[in-house]
Amino acid sequence: MIDADNLWRRYGDRVALQDLTLHAGAGEILGFLGPNGAGKSTTVKILTGMIKPDRGRAMVAGYDVANDPIEVKKRIGYVPESAALYESLSAREYLDLIASLHHLPPAATAPRIEELLDRFGLSHAIDQRLSEYSKGMKQKVLIVSALLHRPEVVFLDEPLTGLDASAALVVKELIRGLAAQGRTIFFCSHVLEVVERICTRIVIINQGRTIADGTARDIAASAGATTLEEAFVTLTGTRDAAQVSHDLLDALER
């Protein structure tokens, strides 16, 4: 469902992606990790057809993202990291807009919107403007908007941000359920415990390159670590957390 080969992308003089290759099949939950600025967002933007790679080729749901971006977008759902919404609309209006953009029949969509929002505990606020929503409520609307049209591939960029514990649990179960239905999940997160728990395979990138690909156990073993977290630190060359926090506390005392 996702086949990206040798992707390159530059922003001016800065190379964001260099020769990135990754694949994800139907029913797979692919965890996509990397330190800040590693190229995760650029990869997601390329795979969702938002930007084009300078070099390389990416196929999503059977379509080339550079040549057929509209066909790709018809088949994907995307929860962005930032809660980008038209905040002067209500949740119902916003989801209605998204449904129209996906050509969903209004008669069938209206009850689906109500039902999905109800399952997320938002039925009381369905006609309230999104500007009045909390961060977690907005996140739920974003998740609903990504799934409303029953996409084949779902890109989730930090989907649990702002959600309370029970909503996060619901979303994690939802992700597993979507994968069980044969949908491909592309899951970006910095919360390694969650990635370790729900992803069937993990790709770690650093400085625009793939540095690890496999299950959490395989990656940990190859890095000589016992947990994914330790492996991530080792592979990405992140400074020792204890030392960094010690330095920070020192700076606060000065």
Partner 1 sequence: MFDRLAGALGIDGAQWRALVATYLRMDFRATGGPARKNGRVRNRSQIVGIAMVGAVGGGAFGLIAAGTPDLLMSASLLTTYAAATTIMMLLVDFTGVVLAPEDYAILAPRPVSSRTYFAARLAAVGAYIAVLSVATAAIPVLVYAVKGGVLAGAAALVAVLLCDLCMTVLVISAYVTLLRWIHPSKLKRAMAYVQLLGATSFYLVYYLATVGFRHSFLDRLGFESSPWLWVIPSTWFAALVRAAAGGSGPAVWIAAGAALALTAACVPLAAGRLSLDYARRIGEMSAVAEPASRRRAFRLPGFSRGEARAVALLVRAQFRFDQRFRMGILGIIPLTGFYMLLGLDEGALRDPFLSGTGAAGVYFAVIFIPMTLHTALAASESWRAAWIFFATPASHARIVVASKNFVTIYFLGTYVVALAAFWSWFFERVWHAALHALILGALAHLLLQLAVITRPSLPFAAEPHKAQRSAATFALFLVGGVVAGVFPFLLSIVYRRLATTIGTVVFLLLITVAVEYALRLRVDEAIGELEFRS
Euclidean distance between CA atoms 71 and 48, whole angstroms: 11
User: Could you say whether residue 54 binds partner 1 (CB under 8 A)?
Assistant: no
Question: Which segment (45-53, 55-63, 174-182, 189-197) binds partner 1 by CB under 8 A?
Answer: 45-53
Binds partner 1 by CB under 8 A, chosen from 39, 43, 53, 73: 73
Given the rule CB under 8 A, which of 58-66, 72-80, 193-201, 224-232 is the region that contacts partner 1?
Answer: 72-80
Least Å distance, CB 44 to partner 1, is: 9
Out of 18, 41, 48, 109, the only residue in the binding site for partner 1 (CB under 8 A) is 48
Report the distance separating Cα 23 and Cα 14, nearest Å. 25
> Is 144 among the residues that bind partner 1 (CB under 8 A)?
no
φ, ψ of residue 193 to 5 degrees: the values are -60, -45
Q: Which of residues 78-137 bind partner 1 (CB under 8 A)?
A: 78, 80, 82, 84-89, 93, 96-98, 100-103, 129, 131-132
The answer to whether the CB of 135 falls within 8 A of the CB of 161 is yes
Task: List Cα–Cα distances, 17 to 1, 2, 87, 154, 231, in angstroms.
Answer: 21, 17, 33, 21, 22
CB of 100 or CB of 181, closer to partner 1: 100
Under 8 Å between Cβ of 112 and 70: no
The SS3 call for residue 23 is strand
Question: Nearest approach, Cβ of 136 to partner 1 (angstroms)?
Answer: 14
